[in-house]
A = this chain, B = another copy of it.
Amino acid sequence: MARTNANYGLLAAGYLFPEIAKRAKAFQEKNPATKLLRLGIGNTTEPLSPFVVDGLKKAADRLAKVETYSGYGDEQGELRLRAAIAGRYAKSGIALTEKEIFVSDGAKPDAGNIQSIFSQDCVVAVQDPAYPVYVDTNVIAGRAGKFDAAKGRYERIVYMPCTEENGFFPQVPKQKVDLVYLCSPNNPTGAAATKEQLAKFVDYAKKNLAVIIFDSAYSQYISDPALPKSIYQVEGAKECAIEVNSFSKSAGFTGVRLGWTVVPMELACEDAAAGKLNGMWNRRQCTFFNGASNIAQEGGIAALSEQGQKECQDTIGYYMENARIIREGLSAIGLKVYGGVNAPFLWVKTPDGKKSWDFFDALLSQAHVVTTPGAGFGPHGEGFIRVSAFGHRKDIEDAVESIKKNLKI
């Protein structure tokens, strides 16, 4: 008699985005003539670079001819793409071999699946607030324990508070943990860690034989040259950190699907000498995955070329100009705005200590703007809303203008 994975029953309801949709829909039904303005969505909106599109179409054309058709590729990804990714790291002085780079269909699957090569009794630490995938995948894997609804926490997860006081980058945990999820530039807070901040975690991980899972999906949005785009810019990080990255936000591939994960040969942990974790992730990918789409991979190669990089960076510049417009507009009416300088997300403090959802409702009913309540990303997200810089310029301007004109603070 087949039984189900009981850990699914421990998942707190996926409440955030359905609830946003529900409230937006209810408002729209009451106010059918009002145009809803959206600053809540973390999804790219601008077209792909022409050079990348050309790469994608050439890949499709190659599949049309018997001389150039290709079927299954390596589960680890095309060598040319892995070499191009290694080349991207080399520009920051980081030496990686192709064997340490695993191409995938995106950062979300990798960030979700990476925990599966570790023991079920590992203790997991996450930033609070954080992207929900880190927590939910560990709940399903049986590492989180029960959810305490009053506290908004799982009993076995270690939450590392990201607050105004610490610039939204946490201190290292006081206790010993085994897996540490870090995301920088951060979703949802928009904070980008300094080298010194990351170095403290690398020290912690090496001292405690913990493994850092570093999500750098937004690294191309860093404008400050002093800030690290990769955790491997920190000395010793290869011995203790896995890095996940993506073409989603850097090349507009949210729908095309392409990402990668670096598992350095030096990486080790309690029962794994150098090389073993690299081999385990390789085995995991060869068993559960069949490679990223060859068309997407050709697009990725085009995106990493000189011309591709230039065009992709233009689009990033467009979104960051959106971020500037939002930041200045909301600051001008007295709101406290964080992020949006080295990240496409802005983290806005609610006025007068309002709850996230109350401020969400005020923005919706008064300014007709949909945002994302910070409380949905973890207990320390309470008292904030996340605003996204992804959107068409006109929509961003309209939303900011409407907030400036209509929001009663």
Docked complex: A248-262 residues within 8 A CB-CB of B: 252, 254-257
Please give, as numbers and ranges, the residues of chain B lying within 8 Å of A313 by CB-CB distance.
Answer: none
The segment from A3-11, A25-33, A190-198, A324-332 found at the interface with B is A3-11
Determine if B61 and A53 form an interchain contact, defined as CB atoms under 8 angstroms apart.
Answer: yes
Q: Pick out which of these stretches binds chain B: A82-90, A149-157, A204-212.
A: A204-212
> With an 8 A cutoff between CB atoms, is A233 at the interface?
no
A136: Cβ under 8 A from any B Cβ: yes
Flag whether A274 is at the interface (Cβ < 8 A). no
CB distance from A166 to the nearest CB of B (A): 25
Contact with B along A109-149 (1 / 0, CB 8 A): 10011001111111000000000010011001000000000
Across-interface contacts of A44 in B (CB, < 8 A):
69, 71
Q: Is A60 an interface residue (CB 8 A)?
A: yes
A293 touches B257 (CB 8 A): yes
Question: In the bound complex, do residue A283 and residue B178 qualify as a contact, i.e. CB atoms below 8 Å apart?
Answer: no
Q: A4-B118, A269-B3 are in contact. Are A293 and B295 (CB under 8 A)?
A: yes
Contacts of A254 in B (CB 8 A): 71-72, 290
Contact across chains for B73 and A255 when beta carbons are under 8 A apart: yes
**Cβ A5 vs Cβ B116 within 8 A:** yes
Contact mask A96-109 → B, CB, 8 Å, 1/0? 00000000011011
Kindly state the separation between the CA atoms of A211 and B4 in the bound complex, as whole angstroms: 11
**Closest B residue by C-beta to A180:** B2
Instruction: Indicate whether A277 reaches chain B with its CB closer than 8 angstroms.
Output: yes
Cβ-defined contact, B140 with A290, below 8 A: no
Contact yes or no, B292 A257, CB < 8 A: yes
**Is A244 an interface residue when CB atoms closer than 8 A count as contact?**
no
Q: Does the CB pair B43–A53 fall under 8 Å?
A: no
Contact in complex: B6, A294 (CB < 8 Å) = no
Instruction: Decide yes or no whether A303 CB sits under 8 A from chain B.
Output: no
Contact of A178 among B2, B64, B73 (CB under 8 A): B2
Q: How many copies does the complex hold?
A: 2
A120 touches B292 (CB 8 A): no
Contact of A290 among B66, B69, B109, B294 (CB under 8 A): B109
Asked if A47 is an interface residue, CB under 8 A from chain B, the answer is yes
Q: Which residues of B contact A178 (CB under 8 A)?
A: 1-3
**Chain B: which residue is nearest A271 at the CB level?**
B3
Once A255-B70, A283-B14 are accepted as A-B contacts, the answer to whether A209 and B64 lie under 8 Å apart by CB is no
Instruction: Let me know if A176 is at the binding interface, CB within 8 A.
Output: yes
Q: Encode contact with B along A61-85: 1 for CB under 8 Å, 0 otherwise.
A: 1011110011111000000000000
Q: Is there contact, CB below 8 Å, between B47 and A64?
A: yes
Q: A226 CB to closest chain B CB, in angstroms?
A: 30
Interchain nearest-CB distance for A289 vs B (Å)? 6
Q: Can you add 19 more A-B contacts, CB < 8 Å, to A112-B289, A295-B295?
A: A2-B210, A2-B211, A2-B269, A3-B119, A3-B269, A4-B269, A4-B276, A5-B117, A5-B118, A8-B117, A44-B69, A50-B64, A56-B295, A57-B60, A63-B256, A66-B392, A105-B257, A140-B287, A256-B295
The 7 closest A-B CB pairs, nearest first, are A71-B254, A1-B270, A255-B294, A3-B119, A2-B178, A2-B269, A56-B60
